[in-house]
Amino acid sequence: MQKKILVLGVGQHNFLYYLYSALKAYNNSYTVAAPFVRELDNSVKNDYSIYSNELVSSKVSAYSYLKAFLALPFDGFLYQTFFFILFIERKFKKAVHFVLKYFQAKAFFLQNDNFKSFDIFHFHYLQYSYVRELFLVPKGKNIVCTFWGSDLLRTADILNLYIIKKALNRATAITCQSIELKEIVLSKYGRHLESKINVAMFPIDTKTYEAIDVFKNDGSSINEFKATYRYSFEKINVLIGHNASKFNNHENIITALTQTVQKEKVHLIINLNYGLPESDRAAYKMKLTQALENTGISFVLLENFFSGDELAIARLASDIFIHMPISDALSGTMLELLYAANIVITGSWLPYKTFANAGLKYHEVSDFSKLSTVFDSILSQYAIEKEAAKKNHSAIQEAFFGDRIVAKWNQILK
């Protein structure tokens, strides 16, 4: 039986592609439309052929806007939310902005006959501005709500709690990526949601892992990459964080590393490729440069978005990965670096029980003040640590490859 899925919310292609391409390969009865799909990096052009976006009319006619205008006075959710923002949050401009965006969403739905021909409405990233359309979904349709991580861990304003709770109550199914995150959902939005929640990781892009296997013994390609992007040939290359977001705790990590006693052994790398508004990038880069200069350790700051073979080689070019963000779901970057035999240091506060249960070996630090001690210990027995890190390769293949993850999604999206 054919199933049509409409994908709404965040349209970040690098997540959506891996999920829906794997799902369609596993079960060819799915048709997927993702009208708001986009790239993180505009210079990267990926395959959109898995999406049947021709089924969606993105251009909204004046007639649909007129119908939306006439229909909105009878929309209870619009009134409730408008008055909540106006009288509880006391933000008039925000209330008007919400009405405008909801009006546009209503017209979009009317332009497409309320998407009555679709069976499943899948909402990604549960932050209030991404779930407006959920309250326009026709009754009787399946609604799947998927937490990505930061939408659950870093959004706590009263409006978000109000709208997301309403959304989850209406959802047919809810997904999150780990047992720890499920407990947070239950604690934050109510234990009556227990029966709806499914723990489901995103399928991983095995192409990157396969490319790591291809290039791991290709010294010339790795050396060419190091020369191009100013990695060190003599020192241990230490990657800090996975993007430019301040939530990576770059400054706290850099400050902690000023205490290391083996500075001459290491070369620090931070890639500010995405995750920070362009208007803030120059100032943040300057701040990090000053902090790095104070460490007395050699370093390089990059702004490159790696993809394809170059991404795989980047994973192999680094030796140690320090990943201690404020919060996270399950880090795909960390998993790839573990696969590439990087020694990983991460925060013990992060919900990575799934990785631990899979038998992956990495170091946890409970506080930034303890980072330099753990770091120096790793450097002192680096050869032993590096050999131990190689064992993560087979553990990742066993736990995260194959059809188990996508089979769970097939069960959810039924």
Q: What confidence category does residue 42 fall into, taking pLDDT thresholds of 50, 70 and 90?
A: low
What are 333-364's pLDDT values in tens digits?
Answer: 999 999 999 999 999 999 899 999 999 999 99
Same domain flag for 112 and 229: no
Q: Tell whether the model's pLDDT for residue 195 goes beyond 80.
A: yes
19 forms beta bridges with: none
CATH of the domain at 215: 3.40.50.2000
Same domain flag for 242 and 357: yes
Q: Tell whether the model's pLDDT for residue 44 goes beyond 70.
A: no
Same domain flag for 191 and 217: no
Give the β-pairing of 298-302 and 320-323.
unpaired
pLDDT for residue 45: 54
CATH of the domain at 407: 3.40.50
What are 267-294's pLDDT values in tens digits?
Answer: 999 999 888 888 888 999 999 999 999 9
pLDDT for residue 149: 86
106 or 11, which is more confident? 106
Q: What confidence category does residue 41 fall into, taking pLDDT thresholds of 50, 70 and 90?
A: low
Same domain flag for 243 and 378: yes
Same domain flag for 101 and 62: yes
- How far apart CA 182 and CA 308 sit, in angstroms, is 32
pLDDT for residue 227: 98
Same domain flag for 258 and 119: no
Same domain flag for 162 and 276: no
Same domain flag for 220 and 132: no
Q: How many separate domains does the chain show?
A: 2
- Give the residue numbers spanning the domain of 259: 206-400
Same domain flag for 132 and 20: yes
What are 196-241's pLDDT values in tens digits?
Answer: 999 999 988 888 999 999 999 999 999 999 999 999 999 999 999 9
Q: Tell whether the model's pLDDT for residue 394 goes beyond 70.
A: yes
Phi, psi of 402 (to 5 degrees): 90, -165
Same domain flag for 159 and 237: no
Q: Is 312 exposed, middle or buried (0-12, 13-18, 19+ CB in 10 A)?
A: buried
pLDDT for residue 40: 61
Which segment of 9-18, 75-84, 376-385 scores lowest on mean pLDDT? 9-18
- How far apart CA 169 and CA 179 sit, in angstroms, is 20
Same domain flag for 182 and 249: no
Same domain flag for 68 and 217: no
Are the C-beta atoms of 357 and 327 separated by less than 8 Å?
no
What are 107-141's pLDDT values in tens digits?
Answer: 999 999 999 999 999 999 999 999 999 999 999 99
Are the C-beta atoms of 177 and 149 separated by less than 8 Å?
yes
